[in-house]
Amino acid sequence: MLVIPAIDIKDGKCVRLYQGDYSKVTVFSEDPVEMARHWQNLGAPLLHVVDLDGAKAGRVVNWDSIRAILREVEISVEVGGGIRDVDTAEELILDGAARVIFGTVALRDPGLIQEAAMRLGEAVVVGIDARDGLVATHGWFNISDIRAYDFARAMVGMGVTRIIYTDIERDGTLTEPNFVATAEMVATVPVPIIASGGISKIEHLEMLRDLGVEGAIVGRALYEGKIDFEEAMERVAGE
């Protein structure tokens, strides 16, 4: 299982939100590029980079920071936040992103996701953020009436080959992941699932591995030292 460090960018800085609340921000680094290098040096195979300003604005905002990360690190990077059209996704891939993450637009325009999957193949990932099992959109501000696992299956039908599942109520809380919802997602959706939200200790990573997720995105727990990245990699990566 992959352990994937998260780099969330707001106002050009590396931050974490609490339960997706833009008013509850903790800044962990003034330099996202240096943070990306840090995780690369520790052996991270993949980085999860999200433009929080972009998710809120509906367009990529932190282009400079994202491009600098893609230019400066050699490991794979997946990028999300504000990607609302195929041309933007393609531009990010041309800039060096290994994967692009579609969020809000996937619910509003499934046809766009189908077009993206046809043009960009396995580089297309759909991020499904949920509260109480329902899909959230627009930077987590709006809650739909669509069940997360139903939506995931619909996206697979559009050609998507990987899903990132985040439980908003757990994200940034250092409590624990929503294991029940994650297990349901893994059991009912026939593509690799990457889990996110609430991971606060290595045992959580081991439990997620045992559920069958492909990877786990970790943010606050790494930045606050709750999880030692190298130890986590040793205990769960590749098993």
For residue 38, the cross-strand partners are none
Any catalytic annotation for residue 8?
yes
Any catalytic annotation for residue 171?
no
**Within 10 Å of residue 41's Cβ, how many Cβ atoms?**
9
Q: Which of 51, 53, 129, 167 is catalytic?
A: 129
Q: Which amino acid, residue 9? A: I
Cα separation of 53 and 34, whole Å?
20
Print the SS3 string covering 139-180: CCCEEEEEEHHHHHHHHHHCCCCCEEEEECCCCCCCCCCCHH
Name, in order, each residue with C-beta under 8 angstroms of 2's C-beta and a sequence gap of 6 or more. Answer: 45, 46, 194, 214, 215, 216, 237
List, as one string, the DSSP characters of 57-86: HTS---HHHHHHHHHH--SEEEEESS--SH
Contact status, residue 97 vs residue 69, Cβ threshold 8 Å: no
Q: Which of 8, 51, 167, 171 is catalytic?
A: 8
Q: Which DSSP letter does residue 47 get?
A: E
Contact status, residue 32 vs residue 77, Cβ threshold 8 Å: no
State the catalytic residues.
8, 129
